[in-house]
Every structure is written in structure tokens, then in C-alpha cells.
Structure 1
Amino acid sequence: MQIKDVLLAPGNGAFFYDDQEAIRSGAIQDGFIYIGAPTTPGFESIRIPASSLSVGLVLTDDTVVWGDMMNVQYSGAGGRDPLFDTNQISDLTSRVVAPRLLDVDASRFRNSCAKAFEPVEHQRLPLAVEYGVSQALLRAAAHLHRTTMAEIVCSEFNLPLPTCRVPIYCQSGDAREINVDKMILKAVDVLPHGLINSRQKFGVNGQTFVEFVKWVATRTLEIGRPGYHPVLHFDVYGWIGLEIGMEPQRIADFICRVAESVPGFSLNIESPADFGSTEAQVENYARIVSVLDNRASSARIVVDERCNTLEDVRRFAEAKAAHLVQIKTPDVGSLADTARAVILCKDNKVGAYVGGSCTETDLSAQASVHVSVATQADMMLAKPGMGVDEAFSIVGNEQNRLLAMLNCRRAQTETVG
């Protein structure tokens, strides 16, 4: 077989792992840290540096292809896998996954993922393992076929070669105003995320949030180049429900008012409320979507929390319980499932947003680009990190390089034909 050895190398994620429950419960921010005791299992403090684990596949020609494992920023929240433990993941990968990798046909991406990720004692592997190893397997298949990762995805899922870029969405972190200016000056397609993750940032009855939305719209018109008209996308981490109330009608009423405050802009509201379970989330988000659609509102609902795996994505898409589904790559697991999730959303006429986390790495971000472009997702996250410039360049440049290669390949084929 094509893989003769498996390497592991500990690494860093591009941001931090945060205890969402502790922050939501009112932990005080002091500079870059949070004061107080953590509440989510596995956290020794509310904010800790993100860790990762690289897995390298040594191929028979001595080429080494890599993928990176990690969890998302708010690990252990919203039904997600627990906090990433490098030692535990390394041990599991060495004992269970590495022997399987030595016995797969690495030229067949989907098949090799299926064999490598078989359950252990009826338990699915940690999703971080699936995510990192699938990146390496996708790179291995691309190397063996002398092609791009995007072309592997297109071939294995019977998709046409893409010709268009995927709109890029940037997130601001806590440096909201400065980063919004950066996004506008760089003409980012979708902005600014906003990190509205506390009562202080949302405000009484959401007034602080509404003022921020209006400021972003005004600032865009003030300093944006002529003709620049981004989608406004805000992640409110459930705070509409927490502050306004958990009744879908009231949540929809509030969202409509926010949309009306920025006429002429399309508005995405991510995670308006957390109803505590996937079942409740599907039911109540579907009601919010229905109200907004009946009113012909310019606002769209984006689901994140309680929508983690491919099966979760299926439930939300089939129920029309969101206008846009975030396919959060480390939570979905295998990149093969990310591709399946985009296709599933499109089949159900629901928007597909290939997201992820600020805790990721350059390697995971670049692999995500190839899946996003191959499947023609509706938008994708600029990642990793919270700095805008770095993430936007990593994702944007990889898209441009990929499309240049595909255009060259297409021109060569037409010439031969």
C-alpha cells in the first residue's frame, strides 16, 4: 500500500479554547484573560491556549503529507466533543488509527476514510481525529493522482470542476472596530461576526447589539470602496433568546427589527438562541425561519450550536430549520462528511456555510478551501485565528491559487480536445 509510516507532531492552534458556559454566566474579562472558575469539564481555566496534533503520512516515495487535529474554540458546549487533549489523542491515533492507515488504498479518499474511521467498541472516533487524518488522506490522494485536493473531491462525489470562488466570511474577535475597518478596506464578502458572547456585548433588550449592527452598516458606507456591499453576519451566541426570551415569535420579531435598522443590507443572524438539544433546536429554529420568510425579511438564520455532525446537518436541512447551516469542520469530523454536508444542504435548498474555528491551523484551513470550492459552498470562514489579515490571506490566496490551477487544467484539456 502507499502509506509506509505515520508521524505525529504536537502543535498549536491559532487561538484559544474558551469555556463558553463560564463566559455566558458572567465571567469578567481582564485584558485577554477571564477571571473566575471554569465550569465546563476539562477546562483548568476559562481561557487556555489552543493545542493541535499534526499527523503525517509517509508515502512510499518518501513524500510526507500532513493534516492537523484540533477541537473548536467552545469545546464541550452545544453537544460538541470535549476539550482537546493532545496526549490522549496521540495515544489513540498511535494505537488504533495508525495501523489502519498502513493498510488502506490512499489513492481512494472516501474509501480510505471509511476504513480508517471505523468505530472502536461501537464508539465513533473523536471528531478531531477524523478531521486531521482526513486532511492528510485528501492530500495523499491528491499527491498520488498528481492533482489538487479539490479535483479529488470533485471526482469522488461526481461534481463538475468549479470555476467560481466561494465568498469569504471574516470574524472580528474582541477587537471589533479595528477589525471591521480592516474587513471593509479589504472588501471582505461577509462580515464581521462580532463575537457577541456576553450580556455586556448584547446589552439590555439587545440595544448594544443593535447599535453595533447599525455602526457596521454606516462604517461600510463611509470607508468602503464604491460598489462594495457585503453581507452583514453576526454571531450572537444565543443571547437573543437569553435576553429577549425563548419564544420563537419574540426572537423573530427582534431579528426583523434589527434587519429594518440596516435597510439595503442582507443580514445573517447566527445562533439566535440555544434551546438545549438538537431536537428542540430544530423545532424552534424552523418556527423562526417560517416567521421571517412569511414577513419577507432580509434577515437569515444561521445554525451553529446543536448542529455538529453530518446527521445533525441533515436534520436541520430537511426541516428547513435554518436559512444557512454552518458546517463546522472540526465538529463534522471527516472532510468527506463536510463535502457530503454541503451537497445535502444544496439538495434541500438550504445555504451551506463551510465554517470551522479560530483554533484551527493553516493546513486545516487550506484543506477546507479545496472542499468548499469543489462543492461550491455558499460561503466559507476565513480561518484560522482572530486577526483578519492572516486568515483572509490564507483562505483567499489558497482559493486564488486553486482556481488558477483549475483554469490552467481546463485550458489544457480544451487545447487537446
Structure 2
Amino acid sequence: MLIKDVLLAPGSGAFFYDDQAAIRAGASQDRFIYLGEPLTPGFTSIRVPASSLSIGLVLVDDTVVWGDMMSVQYSGAGGRDPLFDIKQISDLTARVVAPRLLDVDATRYLDACAKVFEPFEQKRLPLAIEYGVSQALLRAAAHIQRTTMAEIICSEFDLPLPTRSVPIYCQSGDAREINVDKMILKGVDVLPHGLINSRQKFGVDGQTFMEFVRWVATRTHQLGGLGYHPVLHFDVYGCIGQEIGLEPLRIADFICRVADTVPGFTINIESPADFGSTQAQIENYAKIVSILDERGSSARIVVDERCNTLEDIRLFAEAKATHLVQIKTPDVGSIADTARAVLICKANNVGAYVGGSCTETDLSAQASVHVAVATQADMMLAKPGMGVDEAFSIVGNEQNRLLAMLNRRRTQAENVG
């Protein structure tokens, strides 16, 4: 069953693209905007509305299945692809990708991805293209085979049908206190992110951050019901290293102090420091992991920056240079590579977190759910946007619908057997 036409439709991401370099350099905020000049190439201002590009595959029965291309919030930072340029991406997709799509067998998902994503002019296609097109191809295979996207992943990677739900992690954005309350009231599994992305939010010697951690734990006790015990996950965007230096022992000492202030909670610290390159990140994160493990700390570190591609994830996992990998889906590229990344983490006894970005769309979020559930990741991000309610609804409802369908499929198979 072949694809007979390709449609493109410009769209919006669910948040904004931000110039991380300018924010780290001290750009001040004026309500929602940042003041000052951008520092990262491609940015015309420090904060710009996120754009996306939908690709629709017209199948021979005239069904149209869609996928969405976009970049992550902090495009161009930490070795990532540059800011999403909808005109450039649209042109490349129409000239190069569309003709390839018309020549693949849409029933064979991994084969189709491999053929469509062959290098162009000896370069890998932009990861945004891989991400959006791979979503559309996954939906095409699921439609043709009258199954779910998760079952396509299970079939292609020889995985059993999943039975367990994947814990959901919500991110707060700058509306920290209000969104923490929302997360607790909704019983979110992992919270709150915190967006600790500047020295002002981190504080001198990390005191402002420590106060926020204690407040989150206290608020969880105050508002959470009996038996509610979420993982506390804080993204500090390298601020620990910026404030106290890049010595692994000092960073580990600080992380242990954070964990000790909220006993009884598992603490995830994402992006504690940026050591400037993937290799330096691996070497120094491995030292931090080793120290935390030797001390029996309840804290875990999570890698994001400098761990973008499938090969990066493999290197971190094999080196035990993190407790948990954020598999940042648009940065990985093909969503098939997100599945591969989870399996690599599992093979190396490293946690797999299917993440992504607030700049994504409902379609990309739903496709990510199917991959996370199929591979039984350790947690997945509620996305898109920064409002909590919408993202938690999109991801949580998609997961529940998927599990209901899989349970029915399992019951039918048992009855036949």
C-alpha cells in the first residue's frame, strides 16, 4: 500500500523558542518577554513564537495521516540543530523528502524510515524533518494494519504488548507555584520541573533553589492525599556548575544536600552542569554518578544537554554517565530512534525518560506516548505547552485510551487461544 500524495501545512508549536545563551548571560525578563539582544544564530529576539510544519501522507484509500515537525525550546544550544526555519524545512521536504515518500512501502515502518531518511548531499536530513515524517509514517502503518501505533513499534522491535502505564512528568514553566498546586491536585507522578534556568532563580550558592525544593516537598505533603508520593524532578539548566564550579565532587556534594533537605523523596536533578562538549559531559557526569551511588544518595542525575542523538545516548548509557537519559524526541530525530534509545538505556540499566519540548504539538505528543508505552520507558513528558492542564490531558488521555485498546486486544487473543 503506497502513499499517493504529500501535503504540507504550516502551524504553531505550543510555546516559544528561547535563546538559552542570552538567558544564561543574564537577559532580564519584562513580564513574558526577555529584554536584550539575542546571542544564538537564527534568533531575531530572545523569545520567538514556536512554529511547526505538518506533513500529511495521502494513502491510496484517500485517508490522510499526519505528523508534525518542529524544534525544541532551546534550539541551537548544547549541540542541537539550529532554530526551526519553516521556509527552509518546507522547501527541503517538498524537493527531497516527498518524492522519496511516494516510493516506499508504508506497511514496513522501519524500512520506510530508513529509505526516506537517507542522507541528502552527504548530510543527514534536519532532525525536525525526521521527527515529523516518522510520526506520519507510523500513523500510516497503524492505519493500514488496523492497529495502534504502539503495536507497530512492538511488532517492528519484537516487543511484547505492554501492560504497564508509564509515569507522567509535568513541567511548570515560570508559573511555578500555581502549576505545582495543579500537579499535586491532579496526582502527577513526577513534578515539577521548575525551570531553574538563570542565576536569579538558582540564587547565590543555590539557596533560592534549595528553598524552592523544600517548598515543593512541603506543598506536596499539604495538598497530596494519603499515599501520594511523587518523584521530585528539577531541571537546573547547568546552574549548579555555573554557580559553584565544574568540579564533580562539589556538584555531587550540592546534589546530596538537596536530597537531604527533603528526606523520603526520590530527587531527580536534570542538567546539573554543562561541561562544554559531549565527551567532557560523559567523563564528568560519570564521576558525579559514581559519587552519588557510593554515598547511597536518593538523588539521581538526568542528562539533557550534550546528549542529543541516538549515538550520544548510547555513549552516555554505556559509560554509566547518568541515572536517567532525557530522550528529547525532536533532537533524536526519527521517532523510531526514540524507541531504539529507550531499548539502549534498558540494555545498560540506565533510566529512559521519553521527553521532548513544550514547543511540540498534540500530534507529536500522542505519537510519543505510543513509543513510550510500547518500549515501557521509565517516564514520559506531559507535552506540549507550559500550562500543565493541557499537556497532562493530552498525554494522560492518550495513554489511557491506548491501554484500553491493548487490553481488549490481549483479551481477544486469550479467548482465541
Q: Under TM normalisation by the shorter chain, which class is it?
A: over 0.9
* Correspondence for 2:306: 306
Distance 1:171 1:336 in 2: 25
Residue type of the alignment partner of 1:143: H
Distance 1:391 1:131 in 2: 19
Deviation digits for residues 358-412 of structure 1 (CA, Å, limit 9, x no counterpart)? 0000000000000000000000000000000000000000000000000001111
Distance 1:225 1:270 in 2: 27
Distance 2:109 2:188 in 1: 32
* Correspondence for 1:94: 94
Residue type of the alignment partner of 1:193: H
Specify every segment of 5 or more residues in structure 2 that has no aligned partner in the other structure, as ranges: none
SS in 1 for 2:13: strand
Superposition pairs of residues 196-215 of structure 1, within 5 angstroms: 196-215=196-215
The percentage of counterpart residues that share the same residue type is: 83
Superposition pairs of residues 43-122 of structure 1, within 5 angstroms: 43-122=43-122
Shift of 1:121: 1.5
Residue type of the alignment partner of 2:261: S
Shift of 1:415: 1.0
* Correspondence for 1:170: 170
Distance 1:187 1:410 in 2: 28
Distance 1:16 1:121 in 2: 31
Superposition pairs of residues 179-194 of structure 1, within 5 angstroms: 179-194=179-194
Distance 1:409 1:196 in 2: 43
Shift of 1:107: 0.4
* Correspondence for 2:390: 390
Shift of 1:416: 1.3
SS in 2 for 1:177: helix
SS in 2 for 1:160: coil
SS in 2 for 1:232: strand
CA RMSD of aligned residues (A): 0.4
Aligned length: 417
Distance 2:142 2:77 in 1: 35
Residue type of the alignment partner of 2:347: D
Residue type of the alignment partner of 1:294: E
* Correspondence for 2:320: 320
TM-score by length of 2: 1.00
Superposition pairs of residues 171-320 of structure 1, within 5 angstroms: 171-320=171-320
Distance 1:243 1:99 in 2: 51
SS in 2 for 1:10: strand
Distance 2:109 2:212 in 1: 44
Deviation digits for residues 305-324 of structure 1 (CA, Å, limit 9, x no counterpart)? 00000000000000000000
SS in 1 for 2:44: coil
Distance 1:181 1:386 in 2: 14
* Correspondence for 2:347: 347
SS in 2 for 1:36: coil
Shift of 1:354: 0.3
Residue type of the alignment partner of 2:80: R
Distance 1:258 1:362 in 2: 34
Distance 2:297 2:406 in 1: 38
Distance 1:35 1:363 in 2: 32
* Correspondence for 2:136: 136
Q: Does 1:376 align with 2:376?
A: yes
Distance 1:365 1:223 in 2: 28
Distance 1:71 1:105 in 2: 28
SS in 2 for 1:166: coil
Residue type of the alignment partner of 2:385: G
SS in 2 for 1:405: helix
Distance 1:306 1:123 in 2: 20
* Correspondence for 1:361: 361
* Correspondence for 2:338: 338
Residue type of the alignment partner of 1:106: A
* Correspondence for 1:16: 16
Structure 1 runs (4+) deviating above 6 angstroms are none
SS in 1 for 2:221: helix
Distance 2:413 2:259 in 1: 47
Distance 1:155 1:237 in 2: 37
Deviation digits for residues 34-79 of structure 1 (CA, Å, limit 9, x no counterpart)? 0000000000000000000000000000000000000000000000
* Correspondence for 1:153: 153
Deviation digits for residues 274-307 of structure 1 (CA, Å, limit 9, x no counterpart)? 0000000000000000000000000000000000
SS in 1 for 2:291: helix
SS in 1 for 2:259: helix
Distance 1:393 1:95 in 2: 37
Distance 1:111 1:213 in 2: 46
SS in 1 for 2:232: strand
Distance 1:300 1:413 in 2: 40
Superposition pairs of residues 26-37 of structure 1, within 5 angstroms: 26-37=26-37
Distance 2:169 2:416 in 1: 38
Shift of 1:122: 1.2
Distance 1:269 1:244 in 2: 15
Specify every segment of 5 or more residues in structure 1 that has no aligned partner in the other structure, as ranges: none
SS in 2 for 1:124: coil
Residue type of the alignment partner of 1:384: P
SS in 2 for 1:129: helix
